[in-house]
């Protein structure tokens, strides 16, 4: 399963969510993106491709 994690830094339970998602990493493809950093146009395109092809998207 492809899982995309969008890190926004907006959730107070971020550590709990991150720990739970870390358990998925050995069995699934987990892609993490920190949305608080600036990106080039190509990097945004890659991020959007991952989101559109993901089975699950989580915001933490």
pLDDT for the residue 11: 81
pLDDT score at 21: 77
* pLDDT at residue number 48: 95
| Helix, strand, coil % over all residues of the chain, rounded to 5 | 35, 25, 35
8-27 average pLDDT score: 79
Give me the chain's average pLDDT, please.
87
Name the residue among 3, 60, 58 with its Cα closest to residue 26: 3
Give the list of residues 6+ apart from residue 58 with CB closer than 8 angstroms, or none: 3, 4, 5, 6, 17, 21
Taken as a whole, the chain contains a residue count of 60
Q: Residue 41: what are its φ and ψ, rounded to 5°?
A: -60, -40
| Threshold 0.85, pTM exceeds | no
């Amino acid at each position: 399963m492809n899982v995309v994690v969008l890190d926004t830094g907006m959730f107070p339970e971020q550590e709990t969510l991150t720990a739970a998602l870390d358990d998925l990493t050995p069995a699934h493809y987990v892609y993490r993106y920190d949305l608080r950093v600036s990106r080039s146009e190509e990097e945004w395109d890659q991020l959007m491709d991952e989101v559109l092809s993901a089975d699950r998207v989580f915001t933490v």
